[in-house]
């Protein structure tokens, strides 16, 4: 199984954003993870489409856009216009989830659904065959540098079993509290992609940290 790392731009130095993006370009990172927060669905505000639209001309890594916002279905075309390959919406924010997933695919992006820590994977039973990826939050969304929620490892293993039992190829992504210890356990439990923010950008050598995470 290929082990992928998606550094989160939320933890970058926004006074030197191009420098940090170019570092990611030169690293072994697989994707660039972009957290869009509205201060309503989560208690924080991050950055918006003006930043994303500039990133598409700078980043050489595929853009993985995670919308932590209410009514994400209203912004499908705006996300597609940024050049993103993956659009990720929260189960908790979508009343008509199947319709939203179909609309994401109709504009040429891959579709992912995120579950907050308290949300059961059983709720994905009917929609799972339509998904390219499931993101499990291993911290409460809205802020970086939070402590890892331990039951996320077992939750990852249960989701992996569900995917394999259905004969699907759906990827599992984990976001929150990733470090060498938690990354090893999450990969062993069946995770495919780990989002790493402060652990990467706060390290002395971010590119090396990315490489070491991938080699676990």
Give CA separation, 124 vs 73, 90, 128, 146, in Å: 18, 12, 5, 26
| CB contact at 8 A, 141 and 68 | yes
- Strand ordering across the sheet containing 32-37: 4-7, 193-196, 171-175, 133-137, 110-115, 86-90, 63-68, 32-37
Query: Beta-carbon neighbour count of residue 11 at 10 Å?
Result: 20
Catalytic residue numbers, as ranges = 35, 175
Strand partners, 35: 66
């Amino acid at each position: 199984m290929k082990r992928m790392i998606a550094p989160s731009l939320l933890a970058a130095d926004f006074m030197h954003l191009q420098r940090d993006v170019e570092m990611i370009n030169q690293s072994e990172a697989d994707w660039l993870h972009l957290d869009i927060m509205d201060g309503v669905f989560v208690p924080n505000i991050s950055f918006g489409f003006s930043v994303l639209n500039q990133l598409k001309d700078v980043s050489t890594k595929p853009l993985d856009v995670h919308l932590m916002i209410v009514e994400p279905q209203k912004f499908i075309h705006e996300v597609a216009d940024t050049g993103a390959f993956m659009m990720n919406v929260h189960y908790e924010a979508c009343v008509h989830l199947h319709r939203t997933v179909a609309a994401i695919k109709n504009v040429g992006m891959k579709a992912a659904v995120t579950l907050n820590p308290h949300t059961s994977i059983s709720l994905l039973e009917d929609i799972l065959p339509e998904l390219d990826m499931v993101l499990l939050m291993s911290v409460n969304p809205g802020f970086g540098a939070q402590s890892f929620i331990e039951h996320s490892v077992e939750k990852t293993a249960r989701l992996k079993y569900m995917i394999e039992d259905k004969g699907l190829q759906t990827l599992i992504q984990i976001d929150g509290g990733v470090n060498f210890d938690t990354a090893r356990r999450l990969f062993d439990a069946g995770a495919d992609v780990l989002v790493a923010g402060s652990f990467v950008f706060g390290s002395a050598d971010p590119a090396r940290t990315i490489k070491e995470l991938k080699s676990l």
